Structure 1
Amino acid sequence: MKKLLMMAWLCLCLSHFAEAQKYIIQDSVMIKTPEGHTLSAVVVRKAETTGPQPTALMFFIYSNTARSIQEASYAAEQGYVGVVADTRGKRLSPDTVAPYENEVKDVNAVIRWIIQQAWSNGEVGMYGGSYSGFAQWAALKKPHPALKTIVPYVAAIPGQGLPMENNVFLNANYQWAFHVTNNKYVDNGVNNDHDRWRKMRSNWYHSGVAYNKIDSVDGTKNPWLQKWLLHPSYDSYWQAMVPYGRDFAKITIPILSITGYYDDGQISALQYLTEHYKYNPKANHYLIIGPYDHFGAQRGGTPILNGYQIDSVALINTRKITFNWLDYIFKGGPKPELLKDKINYEVMGANEWQHAPSVSAMSDKRLRLYLSTEMRGNNAVLSAVKPKKKSHHEQLVDLADRQTSNNDYYPNPIINDELDRSNGLFFVSEPFDQEISINGFFSGKLLASINKKDMDFGVVLYELTPEGKYFHLSYFLGRASYLKDATKRQLLRPNKIEKLPFEKTRLVSKKLQKGSRLVVVLNIDKNPFAQINYGTGKEVSLETIHDAKSPLKINWFNESYIEIPVKE
């Protein structure tokens, strides 16, 4: 028996030795930037390769040496030099970490270093999700000629999708700054302390203190949040981190973006796409999108998502598609099979992928539906006919009330038997007389007057099935004073009718059954998960419950409408 155990141990050792001999692994590479900072990286090459190769680069803030070696080894196995570089200040870097602020310079410093190495053929492709997706776009703020393609998944835009959405600061990622800055790696203990963050949100909400005091409620200073709160507009601080405006016109390399209908950061990933095509109509930019959340999109989906069993064809292999794409760009391989056009999307309920040359081409027309004042039971009618006589719904919201909360917009679960009817306005359409698909972004224009100078509001879109189920399709959350320009606050005029256009919603594709209806829920945002806008016109992070005073009174006029992109 002892002899058998020794033989097994020897075989295991030989196996590990053989695997080590397969690769040349450098796990402590140090890269100097032109500004004198130091970054660390992992480099993995196949030992049998002799000539120079293209490089597959991931730029990573969630430092983990074992994971970096695994990632770079996979790239090496696919015929690339695998490089995983750490954000400044992470892992072996002696510098201070500063999330988002240095990637424009640092990613390009890594690219310059790569092409100076004997194993490099001078061509670099980047890939990866979330922060790594952001880092790819940061590199394209000032494109390096050696960067030939990027494959960003669920890419973040600082100041747009997080830490604020449409200029509303969110609490969902409050602990993230601690997670990535507490040490040279990641602080999983603080990130996973869900009870602490749940308690913090609840205590802050019930205390009524200003949003910029939320860290004092927790008991630990959050200097990054405090810095970000100094930039409530999408100002030059945020604009310097990724391409902005005409920067997109300079981006000519092929790009493959991947995201999901239920990725809470989807508005960032798709803003890159829409801005790229806006400033460069000939952009070579592909999109894959399906019923995935933030983490699922990076893997290729999960069979059950927030209680919803996704279509079988929606399950893909993100990593395989990524390296097929890199082979297509660098080695003349075939384009990934799924990419039959620029926009490639799975139609929920139809169990099929469809393809279009643009987001607008996903639909045949836009269905305009008015938020009428005609009532049927507890619901107002979502009408295809413009009202002939002006009227309005009145909504009162006591912003000082802490016994209730408003605006339940998050899609978990995706399918509900009932909706919370305790607040908000509910509009329901006539049933569709045939099957129809919703494909794209819904948008709208609201006409409203309020007794204050500002408000944060939400619009949630559901399918009401013939069986009486509510299927969450998409939503909008935003601040009224920034709707026309995210870079400049424009306060509302109290008691004057204002036009409030909104469009930064979640793209979705779903086949609706014959007999289904659309449901729109319109509400004011007041809950523990985001800033509370008391409407004084002061900086929202400085307002307190004492600024609530009289309830917020909104008159929502029946000329308000939403537009739904549909394909019959």
Structure 2
Amino acid sequence: MNSIPDQKSYIRAQPQPVPEGAQTIQIAMRDGVELAADLYRADLDIPAATILIRTPYDKGGFPGMGKIARLFVAHGYNVVIQDVRGRFRSGGATEYMIHEPDDGYDTIDWIAKQPWSDGSVGMWGTSYIGFTQIAALSSAHPALKCIAPRLTGSNLGLPVIAPDGSEDVEHVVNRWYFGQCYNDNFLYIGRLPWHQRPWKKMMEGFFETVGQWSADFEKSFERDFPSRAPSLASLIANPIPTLFTVGYYDLCAPAAWQDIEALSAAPAWAGKLFLRLEAVDHEGYNVEQAPFGPEDWYTHNPVALEKFIRRAVDPTIPFYNRHLRGLGEGVPPVQYEIGRTGWKASEAWPPAHTRRVRFYLSGKNDAQGLLGETPPERDFARWRHDGENLVPSIAASAEQPCGPGSTTVLMAWPDLAPLGDRPDVLAFGSKPVAVDLLITGAVTLKGRLASTLESADIFARLLDQAPDGTAHLITRGQVRLKTRPVSETADGGVIQEHATPFTVTVGQTAYKLPAGHRLLLHIFSSDFPEYTANGGGVDPWLIEDVPSGTHILEFGPATGAILDIDVAASPEAVRAAFA
């Protein structure tokens, strides 16, 4: 029997007071529904360009909204911050994504017709607030001159499908978000018994407790649920200057890169797409802060909040000045942060001087394997995927794996080297580098996997291992595969015949590997509780027990596992690094 959280296990976030300097307004949509907004005026006498921010998190309550608005006002912009449909003070149905293109269009249309508007609108925001910009882009209002989506993507919270048909492993935040953030107009935050399964019943227990069911949570189990996201074609068809900010440690980075790759390949977007790549997680915390404590929490510390706001807003001002007012030079095509090192600019990503370095994986189950520069003989590594003893996540806890109050990767920043001692984690190390090596671009793991199960997950973490043996995260990625099961005793021929090709995008990053350090790669098949456990072909939210099985990774010269890394170095420099 699934336990139900008691009445003290959650909070129901209420609308906060209207911030100082804001004028509350109601904006009617095409179907008559009115959405609540706060207007901040730059100048009472002169029409000005407007920054629109559309949020599901309370126009007056999201950390620092009033401060953010006043910062834009100080630079000469009007600001409109709006509760999206069905959230907090706005009317209409509470439905994830569906109304954002039309409501964004109608809001922009209303702004452009006001006497205080000069007819030009830009948009700003992070996560879902960033998604509302992409949705508005898809509806193509001519007054929308530029957007600056941050830590988001067009299919935010939905599966990222790779060209080969595989998809990323579902992060638990996705359906948690539908369940606790899209019930009604308000926001519900509570601890849930994640150790109990099936998770769907766990959420239903929560709904019974709060007396409010989430229609979107129920609909998320329907096959066509992902179709509510704007199509990539609708974005490609409407090129406007777009400053895309991506975090190396952001759980939403795969969705962002999917959009960026599609737009970059479209001729109409040439000169329109600008990238800002930061060493941050989804909450906006930076790797230079890791590990950190309460003094860095911007939700509790006013000084930390001010730093967070300036870090998120200040880089966009030159962009808006250029594309809303025709002032200044704007921003470079690409700005990228090298974690704990500094910033660089380039004309493209990866930078022009980047080259790809290939490592071949080899080794045995009873010892750490190698990231080598030459192909090994054909061989296999096996590991047992134990559904009752899943590989632990870096920071997330079973008590609070996601949402407010959860521990982030950068907050914890643990030594990950010991995880390689587990029998269900394959570890592969390179030689120590003789000189600093700068990674600038993609990290990709490719290979072939066989399994005794009908579905398998592959998680990969690339680590920086210091001379003292400690190792910390550089980047990570994962993929969920459909497999052709083999028996536990299958020989090499059967394994080769049934093995499934895979590609894991381990991430895009800019990172300096110091001299004397080496690359360490961990491969495993679960990441609990941050990611859903593989249900063996069954939706992981519906399973009572996680299936166990054996996974088999192929090594070898032709189809064996390889790790490709983009580095900013000449061939001679690479040879010198690994000499």
Q: TM tier, shorter chain?
A: 0.7 to 0.9
Q: How far is the alpha carbon of 1:250 from its aligned partner? A: 1.7
The correspondence for 2:290, drawn from 278, 300, 305, is 305
**Equivalents in 1 of 2:201, 2:501: separation in Å?**
30
Q: Kindly indicate whether residue 230 of structure 2 is the aligned counterpart of residue 242 of structure 1.
A: yes
Q: How far is the alpha carbon of 1:218 from its aligned partner? A: 4.7
**Equivalents in 1 of 2:292, 2:29: separation in Å?**
47
| Equivalent pair of 1:267/1:505 in contact (CA under 8 Å) | no
Q: How far is the alpha carbon of 1:155 from its aligned partner? A: 1.8
**Equivalents in 1 of 2:157, 2:69: separation in Å?**
30
| Equivalent pair of 1:476/1:506 in contact (CA under 8 Å) | yes
Q: How far is the alpha carbon of 1:251 from its aligned partner? A: 3.1
Q: How far is the alpha carbon of 1:464 from its aligned partner? A: 1.0
**Number of the residue aligned with 2:38:** 42
**Number of the residue aligned with 1:149:** 146
**Equivalents in 2 of 1:427, 1:155: separation in Å?**
32
The correspondence for 1:322, drawn from 297, 316, 323, is 316
- 1:496-535 aligned at under 5 Å gives the runs 496-525=497-526, 527-535=528-536
Alpha-carbon distance change, 415 to 504 in structure 1, aligned in 2, over 3 angstroms: same
2:346 counterpart letter in structure 1? A
**Number of the residue aligned with 1:419:** 418
Q: Kindly indicate whether residue 362 of structure 2 is the aligned counterpart of residue 361 of structure 1.
A: no
**Number of the residue aligned with 1:554:** 551
The correspondence for 2:113, drawn from 91, 94, 116, is 116
**Number of the residue aligned with 1:65:** 60
The correspondence for 1:382, drawn from 344, 352, 371, is 371
| Partner SS for 1:152 | strand
| Equivalent pair of 2:121/2:324 in contact (CA under 8 Å) | no
**Equivalents in 2 of 1:289, 1:161: separation in Å?**
22
| Equivalent pair of 1:324/1:335 in contact (CA under 8 Å) | yes
| Equivalent pair of 2:458/2:526 in contact (CA under 8 Å) | yes
TM-score (ref. length: structure 1): 0.79
Residues 122-176 of structure 1: CA deviation (Å, up to 9, x unaligned): 1111111111100000111221111000011112444556799944332235543
Q: Kindly indicate whether residue 358 of structure 2 is the aligned counterpart of residue 372 of structure 1.
A: no
The correspondence for 1:129, drawn from 123, 126, 129, is 126
Who wins on radius of gyration, i.e. which is larger?
1
Alpha-carbon distance change, 156 to 343 in structure 1, aligned in 2, over 3 angstroms: same
Residues 221-278 of structure 1: CA deviation (Å, up to 9, x unaligned): 55432221224xxx5x43442342x333323211112232222222223332222102
Alpha-carbon distance change, 283 to 181 in structure 1, aligned in 2, over 3 angstroms: same
| Equivalent pair of 2:351/2:440 in contact (CA under 8 Å) | no
Q: Kindly indicate whether residue 196 of structure 2 is the aligned counterpart of residue 203 of structure 1.
A: yes
Q: How far is the alpha carbon of 1:415 from its aligned partner? A: 5.2
Q: How far is the alpha carbon of 1:409 from its aligned partner? A: 5.0
**Number of the residue aligned with 1:95:** 92
The correspondence for 1:269, drawn from 227, 248, 256, is 256
Q: How far is the alpha carbon of 1:119 from its aligned partner? A: 1.8
**Number of the residue aligned with 1:428:** 429
| Equivalent pair of 2:273/2:333 in contact (CA under 8 Å) | yes
Q: Name structure 2 gaps, 5 residues minimum.
A: 1-18, 297-306, 396-408, 487-494, 570-579
Residues 363-391 of structure 1: CA deviation (Å, up to 9, x unaligned): 6211111221258x73011211112x311
| Partner SS for 1:202 | coil
Q: How far is the alpha carbon of 1:83 from its aligned partner? A: 0.8
1:54 counterpart letter in structure 2? A
**Number of the residue aligned with 2:75:** 78
**Number of the residue aligned with 1:289:** 277
Q: How far is the alpha carbon of 1:454 from its aligned partner? A: 1.0
Q: How far is the alpha carbon of 1:556 from its aligned partner? A: 0.6
| Partner SS for 2:37 | strand
**Number of the residue aligned with 1:139:** 136
Q: How far is the alpha carbon of 1:182 from its aligned partner? A: 4.9
2:357 counterpart letter in structure 1? L
| Partner SS for 1:276 | helix
Q: Kindly indicate whether residue 333 of structure 2 is the aligned counterpart of residue 333 of structure 1.
A: no
| Equivalent pair of 2:364/2:381 in contact (CA under 8 Å) | no
| Partner SS for 1:203 | coil
Q: How far is the alpha carbon of 1:427 from its aligned partner? A: 0.9
**Equivalents in 2 of 1:77, 1:527: separation in Å?**
45
- 1:418-497 aligned at under 5 Å gives the runs 418-420=417-419, 421-422=421-422, 423-481=424-482, 492=484, 494=486, 496-497=497-498
Q: Kindly indicate whether residue 335 of structure 2 is the aligned counterpart of residue 344 of structure 1.
A: yes
**Number of the residue aligned with 1:484:** none
Q: Kindly indicate whether residue 222 of structure 2 is the aligned counterpart of residue 226 of structure 1.
A: no
Q: How far is the alpha carbon of 1:453 from its aligned partner? A: 1.6
| Equivalent pair of 1:32/1:39 in contact (CA under 8 Å) | yes
Alpha-carbon distance change, 126 to 216 in structure 1, aligned in 2, over 3 angstroms: closer
TM-score (ref. length: structure 2): 0.78
Q: How far is the alpha carbon of 1:183 from its aligned partner? A: 5.1
**Equivalents in 1 of 2:196, 2:228: separation in Å?**
35
**Equivalents in 2 of 1:436, 1:330: separation in Å?**
40
Q: How far is the alpha carbon of 1:533 from its aligned partner? A: 1.9
**Equivalents in 2 of 1:540, 1:363: separation in Å?**
43
**Number of the residue aligned with 2:4:** none
**Equivalents in 2 of 1:356, 1:475: separation in Å?**
24
**Equivalents in 2 of 1:353, 1:111: separation in Å?**
34
The correspondence for 2:243, drawn from 252, 256, 261, is 256
Q: Name structure 1 gaps, 5 residues minimum.
A: 1-18, 482-490
**Number of the residue aligned with 1:14:** none
| Partner SS for 1:515 | coil
**Number of the residue aligned with 2:404:** none
| Partner SS for 1:416 | coil
Residues 43-91 of structure 1: CA deviation (Å, up to 9, x unaligned): 2224x53232211111111114366555444433321221112100223
**Number of the residue aligned with 2:491:** none
Farther-moved stretch of structure 1 (461-470 vs 491-500): 491-500
**Equivalents in 2 of 1:163, 1:374: separation in Å?**
33
Q: How far is the alpha carbon of 1:512 from its aligned partner? A: 1.0
**Equivalents in 2 of 1:52, 1:90: separation in Å?**
30
Alpha-carbon distance change, 417 to 504 in structure 1, aligned in 2, over 3 angstroms: closer
1:322 counterpart letter in structure 2? T
**Equivalents in 2 of 1:119, 1:226: separation in Å?**
43
**Equivalents in 2 of 1:391, 1:217: separation in Å?**
48
**Equivalents in 1 of 2:360, 2:69: separation in Å?**
53
| Partner SS for 1:393 | strand
**Equivalents in 1 of 2:103, 2:394: separation in Å?**
37
**Number of the residue aligned with 2:9:** none
**Number of the residue aligned with 1:6:** none
Alpha-carbon distance change, 240 to 324 in structure 1, aligned in 2, over 3 angstroms: same
Matched residue count: 499
